[in-house]
Amino acid sequence: MILLIAATPLETVLLRTELPLCKHAEQAMWSGSLVPHLSLGLIHTGVGPASTAVYLTRALAQQPIQAVLMIGCAGAYPHSDLKVGDLALATEEVYGDLGVETEEGFLTLADLDIPGDPPPIERIDLQHRLHLAAAHHLRTVFATQAGHFRCGRFVTVSAGSGSENRSRQLALRTDGLCENMEGAAAAQACALYGVPFLELRGISNPTGTRDPRQWDLKRGVEAAQRGALSLLQYWPHLKETP
């Protein structure tokens, strides 16, 4: 099964319309099949890393999953060159605000040197074979369509960058493309289970502002879902792509 996950139903409206999925009320899951031998599942994990980790881990523990595809919206950092309606694919996920804020600056878990087994995780690399094939496909698709596509580091936060100062600080410290509130937790859960993880996000806003005139959630979530639909239609060929 390919498991599609998103934080909220708003981020899957198009997928639930376009894909042959049926809802199972007792499991809060949608399921179906795209082509023979390619089954699909879809769940909503709720907003934030804790809720995402709980619901995704439950799904991973209950059934065999071939890959997880996360879709959703994101805020673009100032240097990213991403605009509202653009699409991004994560090459790495980073916990952006996991640590300690001090007068002298932010201390990461590595700075704190916390002992433990397992050791604290701050970032998860996502450049596996499936990711490279997906990136190749999406670059090809976007070369012939309006809109911009980029691959890069995503930053997961529990508190979004609603001010210019916080936006600049996080962008500088992480060198991320965009920020979200779930991706690193999902990536960490998939790494624990050895399941390939892809994360597609459409840009809904620039970080650093709450001005509604600069936000368009509809365009952001639609971009992510259209990218996901393109990937799913091409899925049987992804592993053959160099």
Q: What are the residue ranges of helices labelled H in 35-182?
A: 49-62, 109-112, 129-142, 164-174
What pLDDT, on the 0 to 100 scale, is given for residue 26? 65
pLDDT tens-digit readout, 184-221:
999 999 999 999 999 999 999 999 999 999 999 999 99
* Cis previous bond, 118, omega within 30: yes
Measured CA to CA, the distance from residue 47 to residue 14 in angstroms comes to: 19
Measured CA to CA, the distance from residue 163 to residue 179 in angstroms comes to: 13
Query: What is the set of domains in the chain, with CATH numbers?
Result: 73-238 (3.40.50.1580)
Residue labelled with tokens 């991973």: 60
- Element at 218 (helix H, strand E): helix 217-238
Measured CA to CA, the distance from residue 206 to residue 162 in angstroms comes to: 10
Regions of the chain where pLDDT drops below 70? 26-27, 144, 146, 239-242
Residues 6+ apart with CB under 8 A from 10: 217, 221
What pLDDT, on the 0 to 100 scale, is given for residue 146? 64
pLDDT tens-digit readout, 212-228:
999 999 999 999 999 99
What pLDDT, on the 0 to 100 scale, is given for residue 103? 86
Which residues pair with residue 197 across a beta bridge? Answer: 68
Within 13 Å, how many C-alpha atoms sit on residue 200's CB side?
30
